[in-house]
Amino acid sequence: MKEASLPALTKQWQSAILDIVSDGIWDWDANTGYVYRNRAWYVMLGYAPNSFENTVFTWESVIHPDDYARVMEHFDNYIRRKTDHYNIQYRCRTSNDDYVWVEDKALVVEWNKDNSVARMIGAHRDINTEKLFEEKNQLEKLSLQAVIDVRTDELSQVNEELKQKMLEVERLVNTDALTLLSSRYFFDKKITEEKARSRRFNEPLSLIAFDLDNFKPVNDKYGHISGDMVLTKVGELVLKNIRKIDVAARWGGDEFVLLLPNTNSDKAVLLAEKLRKLINSQTGIKEFFVTASFGVTQLLDKDDLKTFIKRTDDALYNSKNAGRNQVSSL
């Protein structure tokens, strides 16, 4: 007697099964950027189901900052076939801004012809109780005096003061004091990270550079205080019109740059044109009215950082040579 075969699962059944699994299941379509997460994934971290965008940004945004680099290195090594498995433990942020430990296991199930990832599936398991138990056991191994020393009020106070000082130094280093945009130092660090990120997830990355046209007369005629007012106003305008994942920085003087993750050049040109019009419509200092010239480009497969930035500068100079107050892309 011939054995009856099981019917193939429909997408509806697949979705239903994933939603009743207790682990947090995720499914990444690398070619489209879409990430499916089941109901248990949200419940495990205390979020309402489907309350996040279905992108890799959601995953990255909940990873503990101290674990992020380690996780990305492990992820890169796996999708580049330097290791034959993906299995890592790290902390994820909950809806209460606490962190829980998870174990993340995954497998690439489809590859593109160029050996890049096409599809990858995985599961997050809550191991927070296990981790807390491990920490408890470790503390019990310490001598009573060691535990008392670690937990003294004096040490806690010193650590808190040191933490606040470090945060203030970090803020000063990463932020331009005048415009409150990112500093050039912070931008240089982020463009390196985002280039690697773009390669990792096969997502577009665009860069906008712009500066104010004929800005020098403002300082010469009305003084540097007036010039600073113009720069501050431009900084405020930029911050109001970009996403949280975008990085806007003051490059120097009256020059600005915007780094746009997961954004192609067409969308970047639209943003540049929007900013150009907004800057052009702002009330100036006395009879001086601000205009700006823009250059836009998208990261190419062959680009290193120097080439990427230079092509943006070339596009900016094209705008200036063509009469200023316009957007050019390369």
Largest CA distance in the chain: 97
Q: What single-letter DSSP state applies at residue 291?
A: -
Catalytic residue, chosen from 27, 254, 303, 313, is: 254
Give Cβ neighbours of residue 257 (< 8 Å, ≥ 6 apart): 187, 207, 208, 209, 248, 249, 251, 312
Q: Is residue 297 within 8 Å of residue 313, measured between CB atoms?
A: no
φ/ψ region of 158 (left if φ > 0, alpha if ψ in -120 to 50, else beta) reads alpha
Is residue 293 within 8 Å of residue 324, measured between CB atoms?
yes
CA dihedral 267, 273, 278, 280 (to 10 degrees): 170
- Whether 27 is catalytic is no
Half-sphere exposure of 31 (CA within 13 A, CB side): 10
Encoded amino acid at 60, one letter: E
Distance of CA 149 to the CA centre of its chain: 39
Cβ partners under 8 Å of residue 250, min gap 6: 176, 178, 179, 181, 182, 183, 184, 231, 235, 256
Catalytic residues: 254
